[in-house]
């Protein structure tokens, strides 16, 4: 009898779980939120929600770029260098030229630079088929070096007027008797970007191509995908996303510092991998990535609220990463064993 | 009769074939190795000659040469550890965190005991250093467990342990720099043997030991095979679990030794020391002829790559170029060497199909 029910149960469970364990992640998030609300009543406020969302703005855009690269089977550690390169150089350019290109102008200039730097990554990786980790490690050093050695090493506090205006703009501001809660306006373009990237991945041939390249580059080539072109394009896209995040970072931080964003790469990669993207490529979703970023943000935020020193954040993210990836690895192992057993039984 | 003869003939032919295969294989392996070593030797001499010509007064100063020899060991030992992980087809991002963790452990325990009784602390010094090495080895073993038993990709496993160890060290030290490393270690770092710093000899000793491990022991052979072809290794009865555990144990231990060198050279310890070393160490390992996707590496190549980069760094200093320009040079050298390798590799092989795909390894 139970055998008859098994398929139904399986279907239900797997739909709830999602293709990349998004359901599990959402459940973990929910449990964490409930636990936090029970431990500290001050947690469960609109203000906390808005501050977590604000904190997730830059990491989410970074994560989208990293997601694309990871789906294609690569790994990118140069995106933070690209981001600050584009963000800082744009401010520096406006300062040197003594003009304010306007918010759109700033994003266009920065994204142009990001595209160019991404093209360097993509061209080297696709043309010579080198290990993506090592190429981006190299370009990371080059980009950061060029920025500090030749473009500027000064901390700039006077942003162009359009940028400083954007830094204080909120779309929702709720005033209660003791606290004010603000939702920053930059949440809007980030949500739009998430939708756009999700559509790009699921709804376009290019997006399918990224999955195909990540699954098996040779198979993708034989299936008629232009692997080299897809790889170059996706690194350009990742560069543009990184540059976009760099400008967001400058706006939210209200300063341009060429030394900023150093060492945040691995946190982002951890969040993307937690979100169910496979480091071997071919798997991953925008929903999972957003949930992964929110999980890391929530953990960072809740540790402070519970009174755990911020210094433990690094350790917490490390443990989270190992547990998350470990579960994935073990279940993959079990699955491959099951396939093996089935084959044996079939034969 | 004729059937027997035929069988015998076939057997000899088979044996000959196998022999040929084997000698061809070892010949190819030698070429691969030699190529790395010769290339490194040329690069080493070129960079030395270049800076000696450009700034002879500063660069050829004995003090500068001694500085190169004293600065090399800490990076070199880490690079050898990274090479071991890379030979098995992995990577160890946690190696610098392990080194710092060991250094912080040694400094905290030592200064804790020394605060009560300096004499006892000095007497217990070897034990304290051993404790630091054991912590590092345990951290390495934990990496090996995650990679070999749980089956997590090396890059993610070591990324996680890096964060964990680094976080614990930050909490432990309150993010500050600790002073008070054992005096005996500091004294060791200052000694020279016939003009050569003892630390440099220590580095060479470790390099030789790892070279013997790689080329003369069964573990060395197994870990090279594991990296060259994991599936073949599995079917030849090699337990990848055990090989990976031992590899990361050894690389963790090397990280601990690098930590000891850290505090010997510069008697302070902090959680963030040498955070830029991860990139540098990967650059050195790849430059030294280590195949990033596993299987091939030589300790001699890595040692020479260490010296070369140290010479470039010191030469940039002599030319008054900034550390950022050195970081550009590192990136350019890394990518250039890999592209060069790839082109040579392609040219030496007849293009069977234009569609050959190198696995895009993370």
Q: What's the ipTM? A: 0.82
Which one, of B254, B249, B252, lies nearest residue B209 by Cα? B254
| Gap from B22 CA to chain A (nearest CA, Å) | 29
- Compute CA distances B280 → A283, B82, B274, whole Å: 31, 11, 10
Q: Which pLDDT value is given to residue B34?
A: 62
Q: What is the mean pLDDT of residues B30-48?
A: 77
Question: Does residue A84 form part of some domain?
Answer: yes
| Gap from A115 CA to chain B (nearest CA, Å) | 19
Question: Does residue A7 form part of some domain?
Answer: no
Q: Do B160 and A273 touch (CB under 8 A)?
A: no
Which one, of A101, A135, A130, lies nearest residue A117 by Cα? A135
B150 vs B68: CA distance, rounded Å:
41
B175 vs B229: CA distance, rounded Å:
42
A145 vs B325: CA distance, rounded Å:
6
CATH code: domain of residue A138: 1.10.3470
A64 vs B8: CA distance, rounded Å:
65
- The DSSP string of B172-192 is HHTTPPEE---HHHHHHHH-E
Q: Which pLDDT value is given to residue B360?
A: 44
Is the Cβ of A74 closer than 8 Å to some Cβ of chain B?
yes
A269 vs A79: CA distance, rounded Å:
11
Question: Does residue A4 form part of some domain?
Answer: no
Proportion of chain B above pLDDT 70, given as a percent: 91
Q: Do B163 and A311 touch (CB under 8 A)?
A: no
Q: Do A279 and B357 touch (CB under 8 A)?
A: no
Question: Does residue A33 form part of some domain?
Answer: yes
Is the Cβ of A138 closer than 8 Å to some Cβ of chain B?
yes
Per the structure, the count of domains in chain A is 1
What pLDDT tens digit does each residue of chain A (347 aa) get? Answer: 445 555 555 555 556 666 667 787 888 888 888 888 888 777 778 888 888 899 999 999 999 999 999 999 999 999 999 999 999 999 999 988 888 888 999 999 999 999 999 999 999 999 988 889 889 989 999 999 999 999 988 999 888 888 888 888 888 877 766 677 788 888 999 999 999 999 999 999 999 999 999 988 889 999 989 999 999 999 999 999 999 999 999 999 999 999 888 778 878 988 898 888 888 888 899 999 999 999 888 888 777 777 777 778 888 888 888 888 888 788 777 777 665 555 555 44
Q: Do A140 and B331 touch (CB under 8 A)?
A: yes
Among B168, B328, B339, beta carbon nearest to A141? B328
Do residues B95 and B275 make contact, with C-beta atoms less than 8 angstroms apart?
no
Specify the CATH class of B31-51+69-343 in words: mainly alpha
Among A144, A217, A313, beta carbon nearest to B360? A217
Question: Does residue A10 form part of some domain?
Answer: no
Mutate to test the interface with B, among A117, A322, A335 (most CBs of B within 10 A): A322
Helix (H, G, I), strand (E, B) or coil at A217: helix
Helix (H, G, I), strand (E, B) or coil at B360: coil
For chain A, the 3-state helix, strand and coil shares in percent, each to the nearest 5, are 75, 5, 20
Q: Which pLDDT value is given to residue B352?
A: 43
Q: Do B167 and A124 touch (CB under 8 A)?
A: no
Which one, of B33, B42, B142, lies nearest residue B92 by Cα? B142
Radius of gyration of chain B (CA): 23
- Compute CA distances A158 → A94, A99, A100, A256, A341, whole Å: 11, 13, 12, 9, 66
B239 vs B225: CA distance, rounded Å:
11
Q: Which pLDDT value is given to residue B357?
A: 43
Q: Which pLDDT value is given to residue B33?
A: 59
| N residues, chain B | 362
- Least confident range of A336-340, B8-12, B136-140, B208-212: A336-340
B89 vs A107: CA distance, rounded Å:
40
| N residues, chain A | 347
Is the Cβ of A219 closer than 8 Å to some Cβ of chain B?
no
pLDDT bin (cut points 50, 70, 90) of residue B253 is very high
The rounded Cα B271 to chain-centroid distance in angstroms is 20
* E strand map for B211-270: 268-269
Do residues B77 and B237 make contact, with C-beta atoms less than 8 angstroms apart?
no
Question: Does residue A205 form part of some domain?
Answer: yes
Helical (H) or strand (E) element with A328: helix A312-346
Q: How many CA atoms lie within 13 A of B122 on its CB side?
A: 7
Mutate to test the interface with B, among A141, A267, A269 (most CBs of B within 10 A): A141
Q: Do B163 and A321 touch (CB under 8 A)?
A: yes
Q: What is the pLDDT of residues B136-175, one digit of tens each?
A: 999 999 999 999 999 898 988 998 999 899 989 988 888 8
Question: Does residue A285 form part of some domain?
Answer: yes
Q: What is the pLDDT of residues B98-147, one digit of tens each?
A: 999 999 999 999 988 988 888 888 888 899 999 999 999 999 999 999 99
Q: Which pLDDT value is given to residue A285?
A: 92
Do residues B257 and B134 make contact, with C-beta atoms less than 8 angstroms apart?
no
The rounded Cα B32 to chain-centroid distance in angstroms is 18
Domain ranges of chain B: 31-51+69-343
**Within the 22-61 window of chain A, which residues sit less than 8 Å (CB to CB) from chain B?**
none
Rounded mean pLDDT of chain B? 86
Helical (H) or strand (E) element with B20: helix B2-54
Q: Which pLDDT value is given to residue B356?
A: 42
Helix (H, G, I), strand (E, B) or coil at B288: coil
Question: Does residue A291 form part of some domain?
Answer: yes
Q: Which residue has the higher pLDDT, A146 or B293?
A: A146
Q: Which pLDDT value is given to residue A118?
A: 97
Domain span at residue A160? Answer: 22-346
- The DSSP string of A34-72 is HHHHHH-GGGSSHHHHHHHHHHHHHHHHHHHHHHHHHHT
């Amino acid at each position: 009898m139970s055998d008859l029910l098994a398929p139904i149960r399986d279907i239900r469970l797997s739909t709830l779980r999602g293709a990349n364990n998004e359901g599990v992640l959402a459940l973990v998030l929910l449990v964490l939120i409930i636990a936090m609300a029970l431990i500290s009543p001050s947690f469960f406020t609109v203000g906390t929600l808005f501050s977590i969302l604000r904190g997730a703005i830059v990491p989410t855009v970074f994560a989208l770029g990293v997601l694309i690269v990871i789906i294609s089977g690569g790994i990118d550690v140069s995106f933070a260098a690209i981001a600050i390169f584009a963000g800082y150089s744009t401010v520096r350019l406006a300062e040197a030229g003594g003009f304010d290109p306007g918010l759109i102008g700033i994003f266009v200039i920065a994204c142009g630079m990001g595209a160019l730097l991404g093209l360097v990554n993509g061209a080297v990786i696709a043309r010579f088929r080198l290990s993506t980790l090592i190429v981006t490690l190299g370009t990371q050093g080059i980009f950061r070096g060029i920025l500090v050695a030749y473009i500027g090493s000064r901390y700039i506090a006077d942003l162009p007027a359009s940028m400083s205006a954007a830094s204080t703009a909120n779309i929702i501001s709720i005033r209660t008797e003791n606290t004010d809660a603000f939702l920053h306006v930059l949440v809007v373009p980030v949500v739009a970007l998430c939708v756009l990237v999700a559509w790009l991945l699921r709804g376009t041939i290019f997006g399918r191509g990224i999955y195909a390249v990540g699954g098996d580059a040779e198979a993708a080539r034989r299936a008629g995908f232009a692997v080299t072109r897809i790889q170059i394009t996706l690194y350009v896209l990742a560069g543009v996303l990184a540059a976009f995040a760099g400008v967001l970072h400058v706006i939210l931080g209200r300063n341009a510092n060429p030394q900023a964003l150093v060492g945040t790469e691995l946190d982002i990669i951890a969040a993307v991998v937690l979100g169910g993207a496979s480091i071997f490529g071919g798997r991953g979703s925008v929903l999972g990535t957003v949930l992964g970023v929110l999980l890391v943000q929530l953990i960072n935020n809740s540790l402070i609220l519970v009174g755990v020193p911020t210094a433990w954040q690094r350790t917490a993210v490390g443990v989270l990463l190992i547990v998350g990836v470990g579960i994935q690895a073990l279940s993959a192992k079990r699955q491959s064993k099951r396939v093996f057993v089935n084959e044996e039984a079939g034969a | 009769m004729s059937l027997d003869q035929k069988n015998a003939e076939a057997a000899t032919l088979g044996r000959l074939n196998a022999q040929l295969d084997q000698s061809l294989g070892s010949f190819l392996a030698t070429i691969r190795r030699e190529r790395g070593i010769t290339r490194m030797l040329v690069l080493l001499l070129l960079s030395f000659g270049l800076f000696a010509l450009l700034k002879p007064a500063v660069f050829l100063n004995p003090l500068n040469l001694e500085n190169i020899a004293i600065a090399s060991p800490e990076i070199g030992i880490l690079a050898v550890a990274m090479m071991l992980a890379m030979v098995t087809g992995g990577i160890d991002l946690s190696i610098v965190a392990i080194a710092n963790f060991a250094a912080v452990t040694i400094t905290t325990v030592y200064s804790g005991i020394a605060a009560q009784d300096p004499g006892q602390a000095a007497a217990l010094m070897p034990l304290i250093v051993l404790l630091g090495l054991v912590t590092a080895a345990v951290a390495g073993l934990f990496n090996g467990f995650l990679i070999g038993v749980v089956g997590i990709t090396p890059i993610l496993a070591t990324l996680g342990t890096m964060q964990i160890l680094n976080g614990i060290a930050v909490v432990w030290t309150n993010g500050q720099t600790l002073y008070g490393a054992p005096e005996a270690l500091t004294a060791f770092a200052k000694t020279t043997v016939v003009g050569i710093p003892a630390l440099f000899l220590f580095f060479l000793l470790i390099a030789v030991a790892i070279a013997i491990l790689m080329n003369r022991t069964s573990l060395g052979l197994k870990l090279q095979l594991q990296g060259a072809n994991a599936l073949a290794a599995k079917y030849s009865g090699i337990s990848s679990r055990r090989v990976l555990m031992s590899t990361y144990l050894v690389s963790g231990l090397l990280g601990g030794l690098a930590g000891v060198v850290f505090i010997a050279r510069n008697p302070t310890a902090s959680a963030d020391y040498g955070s830029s070393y991860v990139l540098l160490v990967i650059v050195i390992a790849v430059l030294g002829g280590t195949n990033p996707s596993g299987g091939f590496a030589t300790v001699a190549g890595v040692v020479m790559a260490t010296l070369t980069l140290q010479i470039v760094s010191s030469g940039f200093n002599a030319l008054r170029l900034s550390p950022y320009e050195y970081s550009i040079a590192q990136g350019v050298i890394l990518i250039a060497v890999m592209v060069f390798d790839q082109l040579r590799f392609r040219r030496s092989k007849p293009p069977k199909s234009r569609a050959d795909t190198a696995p895009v390894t993370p």
